[in-house]
Amino acid sequence: MFRKRPPPEEERKVRANDREYNEKFQYASNCIMTSKYNIVTFLPINLFEQFQEVANTYFLFLLILQLIPQISSLSWFTTIVPLALVLSITAVKDATDDYFRHKSDNQVNNRQSQVLIRGSLQNEKWMNVRVGDIIKLENNQFVAADLLLLSSSEPHGLCYIETAELDGETNMKVRQSVSVTSELGDPNNLATFNGEVVCEPPNNKLDRFCGTLYWKDSKYGLSNQNMLLRGCVLRNTEACYGLVIFAGPDTKLMQNSGRTKFKRTSIDRLMNTLVLWIFGFLVCMGVILAVGNAVWEREVGSLFQSYLPWDPPVDNFLFSAFLSFWSYVIILNTVVPISLYVSVEVIRLGHSYFINWDMRMFCSQCNTAAEARTTTLNEELGQVEYIFSDKTGTLTQNIMNFNKCSINGQAYGEVTDPLGHPPMRLDFTPFNPLADQDFCFYDDTLLESVKVGDPHAHEFFRLLSLCHTVMSDEKSEGELVYKAQSPDEGALVTAARNFGFVFRSRTPGTVTVTELGRPVTYTLLAILDFNNIRKRMSVIVRNPEGRIRLYCKGADTLLFERLHPCNQELMNITTDHLNEYAADGLRTLALAYRDLSEDEWEAWSESHRCADKATDCREDRLADAYEQIEQDMMLLGATAIEDKLQEGVPETIAVLSLANIKIWVLTGDKQETAVNIGYSSKMLTDDMTEVFIISGHTVQSVLQELRRARERMIEFLQTRDGGKQEGLEVWGEACVLGNGFGGAQAADSGGGGGKQLQCPLPPGPPPPQLPSSLMDNISGEFALVINGHSLAHALEADMEGEFVLTACACKAVICCRVTPLQKALVVELIKKHKKAVTLAIGDGANDVSMIKTAHIGVGISGQEGIQAVLASDYSFSQFRFLQRLLLVHGRWSYLRMCRFLCYFFYKNFAFTMVHFWFGFFCGFSAQTVYDQYFITLYNIVYTSLPVLAMGIFDQDVPEQRSLEYPKLYEPGQLNLLFNKREFFICIAQGIYTSVVLFFVPYAILSNATQSTGEPLADYQTFAVTTATALVIVVSVQIALDTGFWTVINHVFVWGSLGCYVTIMFAMHSQTLFRIFPNQFHFVGHAQSTLLQPVVWLTIALATVICIVPVLAFRFLKLDLKPQLSDTVRFDQLVRQKKRKPVGRGAGGVRGGVGSVSEGRLGARGGSRRSGYAFAHQEGFGELITSGKNMRLSSLALASFASRHSSSWIDTLRKKKHTHTHTPPSASGECSPAPSYFSGSVPPLSNSSSVLGGSQDTPIEEGTRTPPVQHTQIDPVPSTHSPPALATASEAAASATSGRCHSGDSPGGWTLSLGTVQEALFGWRGIAARTSGTSSPGPPSVAKETSNTEGDA
């Protein structure tokens, strides 16, 4: 434990099978530890962390003071018991969390591995593996440490691995041993191996390894291709052997994992500050009262020394004042009672259980419930501004489905039923016994086309069955398992298989296919391999008749340039189909072929052979050869593959975006794949103004590209604002207008889809730095895509500001090819510069570092192990549950915690400050107002349960409304509900209450008498009256503060009042006085005091004076400046009162649904994105033709699931903040609510590029309206806004309904509707001119019919 840490390594030397030699370097063992504590360190470290809470230190200080009898008027156990309770509860929770980390570590450390020891293989625990050991791995086993691959059961020392735990990619990667060791496959041979490896020291670079193997007086270079890293899984390889180079914490996986950090919420940090302020306020009150004590003792107290002498050791007024100061510090410490922190922990625990018990976050498919793995961060869930998400396994299932295709100008795959019946899945079994049972396709016209012998369809699927690098494993007749290097290829080959063209097997020179039941063997002449520049691959085959044909598939933009001119008409039709597929977020791919004569083949084959054998510029020569043959091709068609997103991902992203949450995708995948997922998940849309791609390889180029992107944003602002101002004036104008209003004209008027800008390097000097305030208010629809190598430069100290300034002005950011450590650095960068609450979500070990770094870490319990879950604060099974976690549980937790804290500080200032006022009337003697038992029980019994009930169960709006109105989430992001201002308001109210509770009873009782004529001006009567008034006032106050009443709330609030009365009468009873005469001094006073009518009048008067100003203020605030939740509640109330029988609007709904198809087609842009094999690794073609990988074991392909529709998201993602135009009346009719148009907001209308429909949703649902004709429309394209109280789902329905209506509505509500709408959604509009009947409806596109809700 206390072993001296070895010096940092400059290089590592490892000798095989020689533990003694390796141990002298003190290399780390293979034991990992992700926990924070052990038995020895738990108590000191945990107490150290807990006493970082200022309040805990504060109470410890008070405890020390209470141990001094001269200054303490309260017993020491009143502080030590609750303090010990708080520390114990927190310690038990932390110990439990760490226990599960220990349990996970032990599970991993105790895994078994076969280690070669003294010539034989022995089972050893992973924790006992040492650097220099030789390990045997078998198929589907996890790699125990970072290994140098020595030999494999596969030919040529090849093995296949899956690196999902490291980089998130599930496609297989190939690794190969050094040729000199590839034949050492026998344990006896490996036992004699004594090679020495000299390599780089441990680091976190996953894609780089540099080393040298010295053996038999020779040396051999080592690279990353020879390494198997911890966390990888061996696939399709029977067995392999590896030499341990890095173990345990030195492995690249652990180097990227980061440290477990102690997380505290922003409210915790604020409370630390407030406690310091309160302590300062307490000291000030103590000083005031101590000064008063000194003056009183000198001027007045000295006159009574004969019968009121000072208690020893007091011998003068100054020392009396000194002791009085500390006495008042103890008495007044209840402004921050220890029960506050106990209550906070109980509330957080309750919120955690609500998350665990939420059946709407339970996944029945995998039988997994949501889990709050920590109880300290719940309210932080309501304040998230940035979400950092992994891609593979988090947003996607990494399952590819063959969805649609275009063959010879005919589109297949779009199945519609006029009656709305769901399409039937095709059964391929009668047609093809070799069909894959998991394949889903619904368009029977394509199957019929194949059956009737359509030559184009046959050639289409023949291409798919031949042009690939897939390996086939047929264990029994007809039982085929395809092992695809990328899921794209697997989906295409499986599609060909089901339509009758079944790829059966291959050799280095042949491909065997079963075509419609007939086996055919093609001679494989050449494979023109895929790479990121070509974005296509081709094969040249000879069929049994001797005809030579080249088949090519690839990105349409590149393949169309190489077609024969006679394909122009077909290319135009196919381009339209590709645009439709791309608009649906599908990964598109074009297919073509070319017939070759023998002479053409021979001539090209010779040039290809020369290029392949070239010693210099081999890749360039091969590319030229490929380019030469891939010309004048004939177009066959196109495919559309759906990269299956997890259920509900587009909807979730859209709703979270409406909640002003920015989502960044940080993925280890390639750029093209990530961009395609961005489009399919609706993070990126064709309506975006610009998508900036940062791909510079140097610091200077990255800097210029980032600045160029910002220049384009400013140009957009200038164009949108008319270009009337320039320079700083334009910047200032943009700052005013750019506070959330979207600019969509540029996107809509472009005619096509969103543009992707490959930022060029601008000539001349770099542009000037733009003000950060301007960039913070950029309102256009921009997105940023940055590569890993560019991100590495952007994260440098002198560049990070530039990157943050540009990226945070964008609506979406995608970082590609990033390492796990870079993910964490990006999160840390936003935490540092934006001071915003961040949330990271992922499902693999490569996401652990990011999850630990973010304020909140969420783990997806998916298919990539449980490392992310174990490192997370919250876990569930699907990304879509994040919407509910944040918008419901997070928002409620923040709301409840804020209301709890506001009320808690209020009631304790009201309780404590009475002592302060009483000090001026008791000679500053540190005398308490209340009975000591009332002081003890006030926060524990009388007022604890009602505030706990409010903190656990309170709601401002129901959960459905929280999801329907995402803007309700924004107060948490802006920290509006509990901040320093709200804190001062609470304590001001508490001080006001304390003034009333002291001076009203004091003024009345000082001259009051009992019915017998005896005066009421005694200490006990005053104490009982004030205490009773206090309990009643704070109970009424919490009744006003509670927004959602349950049976528990009623029992706790009114039960606490009853409990107070019961305990007070018991404490003042003669029975207790007889048993404990020295403890209960208020005998009989409860009965005598509360029987006096003047006492109850005093209590009633004090209650009214305390509560009426609060009620008046709240009514005025609700009327003049309502909050979002107030508006939603009012809307709900109006809807309930005006609700009509179900079915009234059925026709309108049908009309809306019916118009979706037309609107979607109208929205198709001109952008296409080829999704072919972007996870594909270059070099597999050469591997196949060399024959090195012809002996492979099986790989089961994942089953395909259906994708849920997400067409409504286009509406939700429309620009939210745009100046829109409202049509005035053409016939001269007056609007029933003119102020609605002139001062406020137009109701919902969708962009003309989407649908052109419009619909206004008045609050009064029962109001029927006559049809309204739109006869002439302003041709200026514009983007319109959702209705004032449109929900997320209603916005979609309204945008696609194509209907308008108008009608009279109550004037008072209508007049304020614009304000409400702006408050809820941030949408604002202005009036415009168009002919037609006056209506609160927006303009529609010219082709829109006169359908209205009245027609329905």
pLDDT of residue 1178: 65
Encode pLDDT of 512-566 as tens digits: 999 998 999 999 999 998 876 788 899 999 999 999 999 999 988 889 999 999 9
CA–CA distances in Å: residue 486 to residues 393, 491, 589, 636, 643: 15, 9, 14, 23, 12
> How far apart, in whole angstroms, are the C-alpha atoms of residue 836 and residue 1013?
66
- Residue 1207: what pLDDT? 35
Q: Which amino acid is at 856?
A: I
pLDDT higher than threshold 80 for residue 16: yes
Residue 171: per-residue pLDDT: 66
Q: Is 70 exceeded by the pLDDT of residue 1215?
A: no
Measure CA 891 to chain center.
14
For the segment 463-483, what is each residue's pLDDT rounded down to a tens digit?
Answer: 999 999 888 877 777 788 887
CB 984 within 8 A of CB 900: no
The residues near 791 (Cβ < 8 Å, ≥ 6 apart) are 815, 818, 822, 826
pLDDT for position 1288: 55
pLDDT, residue 499, reads 95
The whole-angstrom separation of Cα 140 and Cα 843 is 19
Task: Please give the residue that has the higher pLDDT: either 1252 or 86.
Answer: 86
- For residues 1290 and 572, the model is more confident at 572
Q: Is the pLDDT of residue 865 over 70?
A: no
DSSP state of 1143: T
Tens-digit pLDDT profile for residues 990-1042: 999 999 999 999 999 888 887 777 777 788 889 999 999 999 999 999 999 99
Separation of alpha carbons 1332 and 1226, rounded Å: 4
> How many CB atoms within 10 Å of residue 251?
26
| pTM across the whole model | 0.70
Q: How far apart are CA 853 and CA 259, in angstroms?
A: 8
Check residue 726 and give its pLDDT. 46
| Percent of the chain whose pLDDT exceeds 70 | 77
Top-confidence residue, 179 or 1272? 179
Q: Which of 460-469, 812-821, 1011-1020, 1080-1089 has the lowest mean pLDDT?
A: 1080-1089
Longest dimension (CA), the chain: 131
At residue 86, does pLDDT exceed 50?
A: yes
Residue 1212 pLDDT grade (very low, low, confident, very high; cuts 50, 70, 90) = very low
pLDDT (0 to 100) of residue 1295: 35
Element (H, E) at 692: strand 690-694
Beta bridge partners of 592: 552, 635
Between residues 181 and 534, the one the model is more confident about: 181
pLDDT band (50, 70, 90) for residue 858: very high
| Amino acid 626: pLDDT | 92
Task: List the single range of 245-249, 325-329, 447-451, 1132-1136 with lowest mean pLDDT.
Answer: 1132-1136
- Whether 1081 has a pLDDT exceeding 70, the answer reads no
pLDDT tens digits, one per residue of 337-350:
777 877 888 899 89
Alpha helices in 1187-1287 (DSSP H): 1209-1212, 1234-1239
User: Which residues are known catalytic residues?
Assistant: 390
Helix/strand/coil for 283: helix
Q: Is the model's pLDDT at 842 over the cut of 80?
A: yes
**Token pair belonging to 728:** 């700083």
Band (pLDDT 50/70/90 cuts) for residue 927 is confident
Residue 76 has pLDDT above 50, yes or no: yes
As a whole number of angstroms, the distance between CA 675 and CA 668 comes to 12
* Whether the predicted pLDDT of 830 surpasses 60: yes
Alpha-carbon span 423 to 438, nearest angstrom: 16
pLDDT of residue 987 exceeding 50: yes
Is the pLDDT reported for residue 56 higher than 70? yes
Give residue 607's pLDDT: 92
- Confidence tier at 261 by pLDDT (50, 70, 90): low
**Contact (CB, 8 A) for 721 and 780:** no
pLDDT at 320 over 90: no
pLDDT at 167: 66
- Mean pLDDT to the nearest integer, 576-581: 89
Over the chain, what is the mean pLDDT?
Answer: 78
Residue 373 has what pLDDT?
86
**582 sits in which H/E element:** helix 568-583
1116: left (phi over 0), alpha (psi -120 to 50) or beta: alpha
At residue 1083, does pLDDT exceed 80? no
598-625: average pLDDT: 87
Sign of CA dihedral 150, 151, 156, 162: negative
In which band, very low, low, confident or very high, does the pLDDT at 75 lie, cut at 50, 70 and 90?
low
Show the beta-strand stretches assigned E in 91-205. 112-117, 120-125, 134-138, 146-152, 158-162, 172-176, 196-199
